[in-house]
Amino acid sequence: YFQTVSLLPMSAPLQPRLDRAMSSVTIPPPECMLRPLEVPFRYLFGPGPSNVPPRVLAAGGRGIIGHLHPEMYEIMNDIKKGIQYAFQTQNNMTIAMSGSGHAAMECAVFNTVEPGESVLVAVNGIWGERVAEIAERMGANVHIMVKAPGGVFSNGEIEKALAKHKPVLFFLTHGESSAGLAHPVDGIGDLCRKHNTLFLVDTVASLGASPIFMDQQNIDILYTGSQKALNAPPGTAPISFNERACQKMFNRKTKPVSYLFDMAHLSNYWGNDGQPARLYHHTGPVSGFFSLRESLAILAEKGLEESWRHHREVAGYLWKGLEDMGLKLFIQNKDLRLPSVTTIAIPEGYNWREMLQYIMKHHNMEMTGGLGPSTGGTMRVGLMGYNCQKTNADMALASLADALKNCKKSKA
């Protein structure tokens, strides 16, 4: 039933107070907020984010439900199974972070390392640099192995460093997108077990494009991002911890430095801790999880083997086209090239920024320069997931040919 409530006149002292409060707005509505949102269409042929397929966009546009509703838990359970398939793991402690790949990177370090403990980081591009800084910031004793962008660490070099520094954690990037390298992983997990070290691997740029087998390759912690070959919008980051990692993570002397990334809480939020109830920790990105679930469903429907084969085929087509044009690839060994992100040595005499600006202006297409230590040495072309098509490779090649023809070449 409805109850009628009479609205009595306001008491005299209250009315002026309300008037003053309502008249105290001195900053007017910004003009930009009174115009509709405009977003241009772009061909995102850089290292990510990639263009999102209509099916994933539609999933993200569905109506919101509560982050603690049973239906949301079901979707999170689906995401967990999808990640387990993509990672090729049976790990129970598998979740998606509420944040980009950096969130997973910090979660891995913050939960498994305590202040003063030794961490070993392989640096051959920007991602090793980032992990080293993250570990340093939280008080770890950080040791780095350094090679030029695109350099490969031999298992012998890694074992020597493990024996010398006795780290609790060793980090390696599988898909080093700043250099276009797919680093070999076989045998490194065995070495880490021999030296009682956790093996942490970054597959943000490689998952779905280049083979990785978490369980078979004895990887203790693996993470990726949503916005590369998975083709979901940026903002979620799958991560998985095996039993060895959990033993270290849940037997700490100190609490992790981040509350948001504390796996003691996140494991409960994802229903992985065996407790009957999931308690409130934070509000997860509901729409982001819808999109991630759909992107993982597309990968499951296609199949990992087919996805790997397809990326390799289209990458090979692009590589041949680039070489036929007279361009040199930054990673010379084909077997070490990352299929999702191709790096091109900057052609002699050309300004790479001018070329990329020309391509954006005249072809509405994003390609990028290097990143971190590879800046000034490479240009990067990414064809991932939904974008991984020969027709897109042809468009990328045509735009590069046009830039070579129309951008100024220095005489020096």
- Binding-site members for substrate are 380
Strands 365-366 and 221-223, bridge-based pairing: unpaired
Strands 93-98 and 236-241, bridge-based pairing: antiparallel
The label of the residue with tokens 């990510």 reads 48
CA–CA separation, 70 and 216 (whole Å): 34
From the list 186, 187, 203, 197, the residue with the least C-alpha distance to 244 is 197
Peptide bond into 256 cis (omega under 30): no
The alpha carbon of residue 137 and the mean position of all alpha carbons in its chain are separated, in whole angstroms, by 21
Q: At what angle do helices 304-324 and 390-406 cross, to 10 degrees?
A: 20
**Which residues have CB under 8 Å from 234's CB, separation 6+?**
48, 49, 100, 225, 226, 227
Structure-token pair, residue 280: 């409130």
The alpha carbon of residue 33 and the mean position of all alpha carbons in its chain are separated, in whole angstroms, by 31
Pick out the residues of the known binding site. 380
8 A C-beta contact, residue 119 and residue 169:
yes
Structure-token pair, residue 101: 């790949």
8 A C-beta contact, residue 242 and residue 91:
yes
- Give the number of other Cβ atoms within 10 Å of residue 228's Cβ: 28
